[in-house]
Amino acid sequence: MKPIQIKTSADDHRIAKLAAFAIALHMLEAVIPSPLPGVKPGIANIVTLYVLYQYGYNTAAWVSILRVFASSLLLGQFLSPTFVLSLSGAIFSLGILWLAFKLPKKYFGPVSLSVLAAFAHIAGQLIMVRLWLIPHAGVAYLVPIFALAALFFGLVNGLITSRLLANDWRKMANNE
Amino acid sequence: MLVLNFLRYPKQLINELLIGDWLIIILSLVGIFYLFQSLWTNEHATKVQISVGNEIYATYSLNQQREIHLHGKLGDAVISISQGKARFSQSPCNTQYCVHQGWLSHAGQVAICLPNQISLELLAERKLYDSLSY
């Protein structure tokens, strides 16, 4: 029997490596207890943001979506509500990142993108919760808390990413 | 470690942020403040709705001071309205939970006397959601 061979490009390998990084961070975060269900630092998004600046939007989208699928399989949450929330959050924040990456880089750095993505992430999740899991107006009560958490963690993740990228993103701004 | 570095040298942190970053942070803070204001308001009630058994007995304005004497399943109860607040001031029930609940002033608050089958609910001009009938 002939073994099946899938041709992989250098890009695929890179995506796999970066996704592995993001998955590792996601696993790390899964062990940290949260004061409020749903409030999480989202440190895996540092990888998404870093990849966005270093390798472009498509790679970042691949890494983010692969991370959601693989992490849910590892944690035994595949197709569970947690997975659906995670996926909808990731899709929303990728949408915002696509738009925000077009902002002039001279004025908007990784911190802006991180904060906006964090808001989009929580918005995507809360919309899903409202429509599907808890179809009740009381969900609105939680919105301010989640928004505050999103701002804080978005800020921290953005600063970390900005440090990790060193001055690479400033060069991008100058080339623009 | 990066975070610790930022804590040690707060100036570095400031340097990391561009003008657009500040703009987004400030706008977000304003937005969050507005969210807290609009979603977490404890709206003052304007009316009190009293139910006896399954039926709405009456709805009173909270502006006028009055005492309402009601006949429930166990006996006579008294509900007082004063200065925008309402409470059970007397009840024939054993537990007296309804009386101990004290003055209610915010829309959506409810006092229920199960043994006597009398309840009062505070209403705002606009009906807020309630978690009881959901």
Q: Which residues of A touch B19 (CB under 8 A)?
A: 107
A10-168: which CATH topology?
Arp2/3 complex 21 kDa subunit ARPC3 (1.10.1760)
Residue pair B23/A128 in contact (Cβ under 8 Å)? The answer is no
A140 to B39: CB separation less than 8 angstroms, yes or no: yes
Looking at residue A136, its pLDDT comes to 67
Q: Which residue in the block uniquely carries the two structure tokens 């989640």?
A: A146
pLDDT digits (tens, 9 = 90+) for B6-42: 667 777 677 778 999 999 999 999 999 998 888 777 6
Q: What are the CA-CA distances from residue A171 to residues A54, A106, B57 (Å)?
A: 12, 10, 73
The mean of the pLDDT values for chain B is 84
Calculate how close chain B gets to A146, using CA atoms only, in Å. Answer: 10
pLDDT digits (tens, 9 = 90+) for A94-125: 999 999 999 998 899 999 999 999 999 999 99
Q: Which residues contact B96 (CB under 8 A, 6 or more apart)?
A: none
**Cβ pairs bridging A and B (under 8 Å):** 73
Looking at residue A61, its pLDDT comes to 97
pLDDT digits (tens, 9 = 90+) for B56-109: 898 999 888 999 999 988 999 999 999 889 999 999 989 898 899 899 888 778
Looking at residue B4, its pLDDT comes to 65
**What are the residue boundaries of the structural domains of chain A, listed by start?**
10-168
pTM of the predicted model, to two decimals? 0.72
CA-angle at A68, arms to A31 and A72, nearest 5°: 55
Mutate to test the interface with A, among B15, B29, B32 (most CBs of A within 10 A): B32
Among the partner residues A103, A144, A158, nearest to B35 by beta-carbon distance: A144
Looking at residue B7, its pLDDT comes to 67
- Report which of residues A38 and B49 the model is more confident about: B49
Among the partner residues A111, A156, A163, nearest to B17 by beta-carbon distance: A111
Looking at residue A14, its pLDDT comes to 93
The mean of the pLDDT values for chain A is 90
A163 to B32: CB separation less than 8 angstroms, yes or no: no
Looking at residue A134, its pLDDT comes to 80
